[in-house]
Structure 1
């Protein structure tokens, strides 16, 4: 009997603060796995030596609270003293069963120091204090009982998080995994577009991808675009045996999460209208184009030009952005940067914005664009193929680097309320949200189909496209959406 195991390493390392991007997708997957009743699911982490450890009951209780957003987070508390904030951060870290990762350190240090751009002496000192506390806590933590390693279980099917793929690819443990492995492939951007990431990150990504191609039985991609890129890269790598490749589009999940907390869906009239772009602030996301557009339109539209709200954490290679703002101080009253928001605060921005913009140069999926449609918010997107998938072909598409085209589209959105109303109506009548449970069920269907084929004929090598009749039901599909797993696939998995 095969048992499905889900790796919870990423949310544990991310820690209790609002997930974004890849962590939001993998957190949603774990949340639904915890609620899954169709078949037994186990949970584990991968430690720093590359070994799996099943979670005990106390760790599972903490995980449920973590992925449901029920734990204190290092956000908010405006006006509180440094010592009060430090006590909150240390209390959060003390309660965690495992050490949080470096992103939590950076978020917590930004919370302590008030430095959104994660720079400066105060930020560095705060980050050092947090990491010293982690070292002391790790040294004082009692030895953990051996709960077993699912990676060495021949009768296990293990989902590996992106964090654990990185750990295993870097550590290369002596004991090779004996279970069946499947992973999520979010993109191949550092391989296809290395100019958008730092050299160190690109080298690590190449190594991690090579490990997945060599060790995974199944690669589940978040978009058809990503799946096509993965297949091309796999073929170019000259592997003797390629893993199967499938697609499970993740939707957005933010609105579904805040709806459980009873947030009002009625738009609130704000003092000033605003346009929203929610993404990490880094070179690939193409914020500089928006600054150029707002700079051109400000003297033309005046007060009719809404505030541009850039919502997200500061990433890397954003020097051109800050230099443009310094050269054009007149933009300071018309461009707003927001970081470290709670899920509820972010959801309120989506709910109340006039429209959204998403000019990213390239994406693996386009979570922020999908989130817009989840809230009924029109969004102008770039011509990155996956953004068309994420918005199901419903939103206006513009060349990523065509400033004139973006100026024209933003002008129309600012001055033509009928057009915006039509876009909202299109979303309301044609957009089909992908819910968390549907996303997880689709992944389960892919795993079930591949495992059923392997069990029936272990020597068989089948192409990914051959799996489609086994995995997908007969209903029609809108472009870019995840397909529901058929009843057959679910039954196969329950029997496996």
Structure 2
């Protein structure tokens, strides 16, 4: 196989706070690449001009600690003063070899200000201070010496992160990329379902995807569903230039990241039961359906209805949720919001929940649903195809917009302990977790299939459309218990 280089731009941009979604998947890839001993793998970043720069030894050491979660993070500190939290955030930034991206600015501002919804004067002031510090640090940093650019190595294969694809597609740097490129395709949701994202994000996504289809030799898709959508998009864009498309399902990875932590032998008692939904709070994730379900079930089930714990960062287009809560203030006793959690705290929620819900309208993979099964937690999922794939066909499936069916399913889970026990047993006996190293090995196998004589981007003849992941877990295609509308 050609020399392999891995782009570490995304974790450096993300910074030392718990990764979610796409950053968690790409961080897992980098973590496993760092642990590989032979053949050696090179690591680089893409600078603002779109050029690759190899990491030096000090930067590699920082990267190892970053992806292993060993660095201080802007979490906790609820009893600390505003100044103490601000100084902690600035010290984290000062210790980094590169400037973090805007998402770290927002997370650090939430930590400093205590404003989870990313709104208000205190939050804006905190974010401004953090970005001013970043600007001053960037001005004072010594110019980095030029290094080898692996993107210009015709004998190399380079992984480009989603962050770097965004930069390169936006700035279109001079000089063609000479290496073979592979990228991870997480979804095409902003193209297929633009109503779930803002117009600016949708435009950027269309541009980035077009660049990937034109310049990638291999597109690694996180699910069969995503691979099908990518194939359709590639054929519609240019039937004569279709990159090799492969599937490497990423599993979940959270449980592995906290595997060395001691956990209680028994689940805690004496506190109210809760149902968990771990997801960014945004319109696509369909939280409004759960609000309506809990609103209907509170008077029916009373104390038998567990608290709904919504674990995730506030994202965008959630005004309907705020309005619904304002119109039904009694729900505040039954719905809790948790955000800015460490991986260990999130793992505890998965261990302690009665069951989970995942009503998302559409997903590229369904990381949160897979995380549930990793911890043996039953999860009620929507009929989004990738969620069935992520849960290996083992969990009950309910139409994403069918409030009555969701009421029936949640009520059954709350009142039928035997049914929940059967679901837990099904997970224990039939679920096959996807380990990080297997995910990485599958990607390496796909990269090796490019071969030393791959024609690259100069070829305009169609290439093979897809390769199946060699380590696909068993259980896919199993029966899917479904809930339909019922009269109540």
Asked if TM exceeds 0.5, the reply is: yes
- SS state at 2:250 partner: coil
Native 8 Å contact 1:223 1:480 kept in 2: no
Which residue is 1:472 aligned to? 470
Q: CA deviation at 1:454?
A: 2.4
- What CA distance in whole angstroms lies between the structure 1 residues aligned with 2:473 and 2:78? 49
Which residue is 1:35 aligned to? 35
- SS state at 2:119 partner: coil
| Cα deviations by residue, 1:358-392 (Å, 9 ceiling, x for unpaired) | 00000000000000000000000000000000000
Q: CA deviation at 1:455?
A: 7.8
- SS state at 2:74 partner: coil
| Cα deviations by residue, 1:39-92 (Å, 9 ceiling, x for unpaired) | 110100001110100000000000000000000000101110011111100100
Which residue is 1:278 aligned to? 278
How does 1:111-260 map onto structure 2 within 5 Å? Answer: 111-260=111-260
Which residue is 2:486 aligned to? none
| Cα deviations by residue, 1:126-153 (Å, 9 ceiling, x for unpaired) | 0000000000000000111122111011
Question: CA 1:113 to 1:176, structure 2 compared with 1: closer, same or farther past 3 Å?
Answer: same
How does 1:88-487 map onto structure 2 within 5 Å? Answer: 88-264=88-264, 266-269=266-269, 271-451=271-451, 454=454, 462-465=463-466, 467-468=467-468, 472=470, 477-479=474-476
Q: CA deviation at 1:450?
A: 2.0
Which residue is 1:69 aligned to? 69
Query: TM-score, length-normalised on structure 1?
Result: 0.93
Which residue is 2:50 aligned to? 50
In structure 2, list runs of 5 or more residues that go unmatched.
479-488
Which residue is 1:489 aligned to? none
Q: CA deviation at 1:453?
A: 6.4
Native 8 Å contact 1:16 1:71 kept in 2: yes
Q: RMSD of the TM alignment (CA)? A: 1.7
- SS state at 1:277 partner: strand
User: Whose helix proportion is higher, 1 or 2?
Assistant: 1
- What CA distance in whole angstroms lies between the structure 2 residues aligned with 1:122 and 1:455? 54
Deviates more, 1:61-70 or 1:38-47: 38-47
- What CA distance in whole angstroms lies between the structure 1 residues aligned with 2:473 and 2:74? 44
Q: CA deviation at 1:105?
A: 0.3
- SS state at 2:135 partner: helix
- What CA distance in whole angstroms lies between the structure 2 residues aligned with 1:451 and 1:101? 35
- SS state at 2:163 partner: helix
Native 8 Å contact 2:242 2:463 kept in 1: no
Which residue is 2:60 aligned to? 60
By relative contact order (CA 8 Å, sep 6+), the higher-ranking structure is 2
- SS state at 1:63 partner: helix
Native 8 Å contact 1:6 1:43 kept in 2: yes
Question: CA 1:478 to 1:451, structure 2 compared with 1: closer, same or farther past 3 Å?
Answer: farther
Which residue is 2:485 aligned to? none
Native 8 Å contact 2:241 2:463 kept in 1: no
Native 8 Å contact 1:265 1:351 kept in 2: no
Native 8 Å contact 2:434 2:473 kept in 1: no
Question: CA 1:414 to 1:476, structure 2 compared with 1: closer, same or farther past 3 Å?
Answer: closer
Question: CA 1:41 to 1:265, structure 2 compared with 1: closer, same or farther past 3 Å?
Answer: farther
- SS state at 1:450 partner: coil
| Cα deviations by residue, 1:230-269 (Å, 9 ceiling, x for unpaired) | 0001111125311110000000000011013334464323
Deviates more, 1:43-52 or 1:268-277: 268-277
Which residue is 1:492 aligned to? none
In structure 1, list runs of 5 or more residues that go unmatched.
482-496
Provide the aligned length of Structure 1 versus Structure 2.
476
Question: CA 1:480 to 1:112, structure 2 compared with 1: closer, same or farther past 3 Å?
Answer: farther
